[in-house]
Amino acid sequence: MSLSDQLNDILASLRGFGPEAWLSAFFCVLLLTELLLLRSNRMRARQVLAGLSAVIVLVAGAWAVVSPVRGFLFLHLLFVDNQAIFMQLVIALSAVFVLLYEMLTYSEKVTPNLTDRPALPLEWYSLLVAMTLGLFLMTISVNMLSIYLSIELVSICSYLLTALTADRKASEGGIKYLLFGAISSAIMLYGMSLLYGMTGTLDLTADSFGAGLAGQDTAVVAVAILLTLAGLLFKLAGVPFHVWTPDAYEAAPVPVAAFFSVAPKAAGVLVLMRIVTALPLESSGGVTATVIQTPLAILALAGILIGNLSALRQTDAKRLLAYSTIAHAGFLLVGVVALNEAGFEAVLFYAGTYLFISLAAFFLIDLLARSAGTDLTIRHFSGLGSQKPVLAVAITIVMIALTGLPPTVGFTAKLLSFSALYDAYQQTQNGWLLVLFGLGLLNALISLVYYLKIPFLLFFRPAVIRSEPLPERPLLSGATYLAVVLVVPIIGLFLKPDLLLRLLTSW
Residue-wise pLDDT for 202-248, tens only, equals: 999 988 888 888 878 888 888 999 999 998 999 999 988 999 999 99
pLDDT of residue 5: 81
Average pLDDT over the chain reads 88
Q: Mind listing the pLDDT tens digit for each residue in 267-287?
A: 999 999 999 988 865 545 556
Q: Mind listing the pLDDT tens digit for each residue in 459-480?
A: 988 876 655 555 555 555 788 9
DSSP 236-293: HT-TTS-TTHHHHHHHS-HHHHHHHHHHHHHHHHHHHHHHHHTS-SS-SSS--GGGGH
Residue 114 has pLDDT above 60, yes or no: no
Percentage of the chain lying above the pLDDT 90 cut: 62
Report helix, strand and coil shares of the chain as percent, to nearest 5.
Answer: 75, 0, 20
Average confidence (pLDDT) over 423-431: 92
pLDDT of residue 377: 82
Q: Mind listing the pLDDT tens digit for each residue in 305-329?
A: 999 999 998 988 999 999 999 999 9
pLDDT of residue 285: 53
Q: How far is CA 42 from CA 8, 34, 47, 129, 368, in A?
A: 47, 11, 9, 20, 26
pLDDT of residue 286: 59
Residue 127 has pLDDT above 60, yes or no: yes
Phi-psi region of 339 (alpha: psi -120 to 50; beta: other; left: phi over 0): left
Cα dihedral sign for 436, 439, 445, 449? Answer: negative
pLDDT of residue 467: 52
Confidence class for position 110, pLDDT limits 50, 70, 90 = very low
Better pLDDT: 213 or 352: 352
Better pLDDT: 193 or 381: 193
Residue 46 has pLDDT above 50, yes or no: yes
pLDDT of residue 116: 41
The residues, any chain, with a CB within 8 Å of residue 238's CB and separated by 6 or more, are 232, 299, 300, 303, 326, 329, 330, 333
Confidence class for position 432, pLDDT limits 50, 70, 90 = very high
Residue 118 has pLDDT above 80, yes or no: no
Q: Exposed (0-12), middle (13-18) or buried (19+): which is 397, by Cβ within 10 Å?
A: buried
Cα 339 from Cα 127, distance rounded (Å): 35
**Which uninterrupted H or E stretch holds 43?**
helix 42-66
pLDDT of residue 433: 94
Average confidence (pLDDT) over 140-155: 95
Average confidence (pLDDT) over 54-74: 93
Better pLDDT: 152 or 289: 152
Cis peptide before 240 (omega within 30 of 0): yes
**51-55, 238-242, 381-385, 396-400: least confidently modelled range:** 381-385
pLDDT of residue 287: 64
Cα 21 from Cα 27, distance rounded (Å): 10
Cα 285 from Cα 381, distance rounded (Å): 59
Cis peptide before 407 (omega within 30 of 0): yes
Backbone angles phi, psi at 367, to 5 degrees: -65, -40
Residue 113 has pLDDT above 50, yes or no: no
CA angle, 398 as apex, 381 and 328 as ends, to 5°? Answer: 110
In angstroms and rounded to an integer, the radius of gyration of the C-alpha atoms of the chain is 22
Percentage of the chain lying above the pLDDT 70 cut: 93
Average confidence (pLDDT) over 142-168: 92
Phi-psi region of 200 (alpha: psi -120 to 50; beta: other; left: phi over 0): left
